[in-house]
Structure 1
């Protein structure tokens, strides 16, 4: 499975209505982005030089270093919503083409261009900021029902990414949990959640959440 980078995007800061924060969800195309490995915790910043995180309590850090979303899904939503959606509109740093992001397995590695190595991390979960940004009613529910969330990526080998860079999917990990299944689990699907728990493929904090979620009632 191969694809390519269509667009590299950085935050265009704007106020997040109803909050005291500035949000970086509105991403705009730039000629290239420089990726690096941030610290492990939320609030340690993004893995993209010059990007902005407005909600440091829930975003940033090594597990959410870079966000990718496909142009094919943006096209689907354009038809569904009856409006144009530019690259970066869903908050993605990397807009991809020709690659089914939701079919990638958790912890699968991707070679991007000649130098960068990324690793599939966790699914994106839609939030109120995303809904306010798009201005669509019931957006969180609609995005969840669609089931195609893109992917957060870790930065294993840092470097520069440019539009047109190829994306090579490397050897799969030893489990069958893809982004679609991980997203269903994160959004409350218990059958998917038990599969993800059994695979023990998520980062420790996210795995422990599942352990508590499915712990026998006392």
Structure 2
């Protein structure tokens, strides 16, 4: 990660609101800075909710659960989109629990463990931009634009529950024995067969996601 220390710039919690994508449900995409986050390991299913105390998951068919317990997005990428869109994007604008600085989240290896505050997280799966996100940003062709950038942040599972506070350093521990990063997983999810093949060979994803990649290689 170079000479720049990677750290949490902001910890963010949902302010529940009507789903901006038009669905008849509450959404937790409106994240705003909070003093700290208490993270824990939720159950395995999406419907088991977030891994952050006091957070909100609206789309329980696709979000929440152990593999999507905590979501992080880089301040550097928010800065990029501020320039591209010509608008201010405060920390939490992309629905992230953790706004980071000093780390390229797209290059983190799947299953890499990271110690943050008193918690320990593990890089899990990629984000798939959805209608709620598009409605929230309210930018023409947003899903395609965001996907083309390929820097979609990272979901984490919680290995050790604990407290995360703004300013906490991201410390990488126990590197996995493969070279599949978040960028590769996102490309595989979009249909890149070579990326999907690498992911399948590494067997680094949870079973449900692994099976999806197997189908994509066919």
Normalising by structure 2, we get a TM-score of: 0.96
The aligned residue for residue 45 of structure 1 is 49
What secondary structure is seen at the aligned counterpart in 2 of 1:165? coil
Q: How many Å separate the matches in 1 of 2:41 and 2:134?
A: 28
Asked if 1 retains the 8 angstrom alpha-carbon contact of 2:196 and 2:214, the reply is: no
Q: CA RMSD in A?
A: 0.9
CA distance in 2, matches of 1:61, 1:178: 21
Q: Which 5+ residue runs of structure 2 have no aligned equivalent?
A: none
Choose from 3, 8, 26 the match for 2:30. Answer: 26
Q: Give 3-state SS (helix, strand or coil) of 1:180's partner.
A: helix
Aligned counterpart, 1:176: 179
Q: Is the partner of 1:191 in helix, strand or coil? A: helix
Q: TM-score under structure 1 normalisation? A: 0.96
**What are the residue-to-residue correspondences of 1:173-212 with 2, within 5 Å?**
173-212=176-215
User: How far apart, in 2, do the equivalents of 1:196 and 1:149 lie?
Assistant: 18
In 1, the alpha carbon distance for the partners of 2:54 and 2:89 equals 23
Output the CA distance in 1 between the equivalents of 2:125 and 2:33: 24
> Which whole-Å CA distance do the structure 1 matches of 2:156 and 2:19 have between them?
24
Partner of 2:127: 124
**Shift of residue 186, structure 1, vs aligned partner:** 1.0
Paired with 2:84 and 2:174, the residues of 1 have a C-alpha distance of 35
Q: Deviations over 1:53-104 (max 9, x none)?
A: 0000000000000000000000000001000001000000000011111110
Cα-to-partner distance string for 1:118-159 (whole Å, 9 max, x where unaligned):
000001110111000000111110011001011000100001
Deviations 1:163-195 (A, max 9, x none): 001111123211100011111111221221111
Gaps of 5+ in 1: none
Deviation, 1:200, is 0.8
CA distance in 2, matches of 1:10, 1:140: 23
Q: Distance in 1 between matches of 2:69 and 2:169?
A: 20
- 2:3 is the counterpart of 1:9: no
Distance 1:105 1:148 in 2: 14
Distance 2:200 2:142 in 1: 28
> How many angstroms apart in 2 are the aligned matches of 1:69 and 1:170?
20
Give the whole-Å Cα distance in 1 for the aligned partners of 2:81 and 2:174.
31
Q: Is the 8 A contact 2:120 2:158 kept in 1?
A: yes
- Between the aligned partners of 1:133 and 1:60, the Cα distance in structure 2 is 19
Structure 1 partner of 2:99: 95
